[in-house]
Structure 1
Amino acid sequence: MRSIATCYSEHATKVSDSYCSGPAPSRTSISHHPTRPAPSSVTSTYKIIRNASSPIFVTVSWSGCGRGGRGFSVSVTDKIKSSACHSTANSFHQLRKPKGSNEFEACGSRIELLWNLSPAFYETGPEPVSGFYVVVLVDSEPGLFLGDVEEIEDEEGEIGFPKLGVNGEKIRLAAELSPVSRIEKFVSGRSGHGSYSTRAQFCRVGEMHDVMINFGSGGDRSAAGVSVWIDGRRVFQVRRLRWNFRGNQTIFLDGIVVDVMWDLHDWSFKETGEGEKEEDGGGRGGGGYTAAAAARGAAVFLFRTRSGLDSRLWLDEKILEQKKDPERAEFSLLICACKKPG
């Protein structure tokens, strides 16, 4: 039987030379650095696994960077499908103050939130890049830490967490933490031309990668196309969106299989009224894609790693036979572009 690497290398794109074999990707590089549109919102979901306890999903959403100011919210749930929803009042908390703490019950546990965004540094988007912290405690044990500040204080003084990244020492989490998904939404403008770039880490042991989506220009709508770039190299290009507005591509990245799916139907046809009409966008894009987004002419790109044994490009026979290879956590990066805000 042929190995998975052999099967996929015939039809997939390889990004990392040191991790797999197969046909070489496009060596074309980007000679210019287009201005990146600022994301209008960024939502990240993390899974906290504690001993002898069901996993807890924590979703942190950052939004707003215009006149209305920035804000963020935290949602805690025990079901991944509802981690981005706000249906449970006691699990969703909109945090408007730049510094504070909050305590509530969720998923049968006592949840404590500690945050300080007062000295935070921002670039163009709503998510801070340095000088802040957000901490989630589950039953008084640290479960999630975001930030890089020197010290974290509660109302009575220091809580005793070390600075993240100092002398190679990170915050000591009492639970296993793994990222589940990241959703970035931005407005490209009515022309639908330009580029959007971000950074993402697709597995724990992998590197941070530059991901860019380039929306091609040109007066002929039927010949318009988009291309996806990773670390300055074009991994694939979609041409003639009138016929190829939906599809998928498999790429190899950091030794794992990543499925890339796109849905450009509303991006290509919504404003002209051509093509089929779909009122409900539910389920497309792994969550986060809605009928409201479709009404704004949305383009959706989903990067999703595979979980389990099929996520590996190669498997040692002994490991496979003894089933000692641990399952990889599945991670999704969803990028949603809209031609007009809403």
Structure 2
Amino acid sequence: MKDFPSCFGENGVQVADSSSSSSSSSANKSAPQNLVTCVYQYDSRTFSGFITVTWIKYLMGQGLSIAVESPANECLCKADMKPWLFSKRKGFKRFVVNSATVDIYWDLSSAKFGSSPEPLEGFYLAVAFDQELCLLLGDSQHKAYRKIDSKPPISTATFVAKREHVFGKRLYNSRAQFHDKGELHDLRIEHDHSKKFDNSLVMYIDKKKVLQVTHLKWKFRGNQNISVDGISIEVYWDVHSWLFGTIHDKAIFLFRTRFPGEKLATLPSPHSCPAILRTKDTESQAYGFSLVLCAWRNE
């Protein structure tokens, strides 16, 4: 198992994580930005590897980063739409990589956003390799097809990982799908710290309790298997920073699909967020899906 592509890292999108300093002023200066990062595995006639799409929500507006990587984690090209340039909410960028072309198209001029940095509707984002469309996101695909002169794809990119920052005092909410094109589920994590010596953690999927951990001060790291959509999901948690860090520290929750017979992995260090692993079934050559939630405590 390897780390996800280097463009997927925090520095790749210039994100500031919380400092471990006890100074509240320092913590405020390094407060985390609200972002969602999605990773797609692609395989075209001329390219194979990963596409990383990061949606960022700044105080001054929305930001967007798209990176293309080879299977060896080499960043082939990267496009950043910073918020002060984001007034131009649609555009096109072309890169030439090893005599081949990478075209990136986006149109967010009519996009609608909620609390998450990801747009809800009214947009498209497309990536093509040598005019072969490999990734198309959004609900305005008819606009994309009119804009893009593209060959039919051999196969579209597969959604293999997602990392999201969530914020709260006791409740942390998200929406998640646990495999490519899977059903969206409501995910809720509750941290009960009202009892001084018996913190607890409860996790719900679509209002159904799927995991409960008591005595967190002794079980602040662990893992447990659950089932979602008939798929085996291994859940890892590391809430050490919640219990023993500053009020601005984050906990890490990792959800990853398990292939039959696969051995359990160890949760990576919480300080290396995003803590996502790429796993591969050697028989089917398929990639499993991983979801990481970085849960920041606001008090």
**Residue 41 of structure 1 corresponds to which residue in structure 2?**
35
TM-score, normalised to structure 2, is 0.72
Is the partner of 1:266 in helix, strand or coil? helix
TM-score, normalised to structure 1, is 0.64
**What is the aligned counterpart of 1:180 among 160, 181, 191?**
160
CA RMSD of aligned residues (A): 2.9
**What is the aligned counterpart of 1:334 among 289, 292, 295?**
292
Kindly indicate whether the alpha-carbon contact (under 8 Å) linking 1:247 and 1:261 is maintained by their aligned counterparts in 2: yes
**Residue 270 of structure 1 corresponds to which residue in structure 2?**
245
Gaps of 5+ in 2: 1-32, 263-282
Q: Displacement of 1:138 after TM fit?
A: 0.9
**What is the aligned counterpart of 1:79 among 60, 71, 77?**
71
**2:212 corresponds to 1:260:** no
Higher-Rg structure is: 1
Between the aligned partners of 1:80 and 1:40, the Cα distance in structure 2 is 29
**What is the aligned counterpart of 2:219 among 235, 244, 262?**
244
**Residue 102 of structure 1 corresponds to which residue in structure 2?**
93
Between the aligned partners of 1:234 and 1:112, the Cα distance in structure 2 is 44
Gaps of 5+ in 1: 1-38, 83-87, 162-170, 273-295, 312-324
Q: Choose between structure 1 and 2: higher strand proportion.
A: 2
Q: Displacement of 1:248 after TM fit?
A: 0.1
Q: Summarize the alignment of residues 107-126 of structure 1 with structure 2, pairs less than 5 Å apart.
A: 109-126=100-117
Q: Displacement of 1:55 after TM fit?
A: 2.2
**Residue 232 of structure 1 corresponds to which residue in structure 2?**
207
Q: Summarize the alignment of residues 25-174 of structure 1 with structure 2, pairs less than 5 Å apart.
A: 40-51=34-45, 55-65=48-58, 67-79=59-71, 88=75, 91-95=77-81, 96=86, 97-106=88-97, 109-149=100-140, 151-152=142-143, 158-159=147-148, 173-174=153-154
> How many corresponding residue pairs?
243
Kindly indicate whether the alpha-carbon contact (under 8 Å) linking 1:152 and 1:160 is maintained by their aligned counterparts in 2: no
Kindly indicate whether the alpha-carbon contact (under 8 Å) linking 1:259 and 1:306 is maintained by their aligned counterparts in 2: yes
**Residue 26 of structure 1 corresponds to which residue in structure 2?**
none
**2:194 corresponds to 1:218:** yes
Q: Displacement of 1:80 after TM fit?
A: 7.0
Q: Displacement of 1:105 after TM fit?
A: 2.9
Letter matched to residue 338 of structure 1 = W
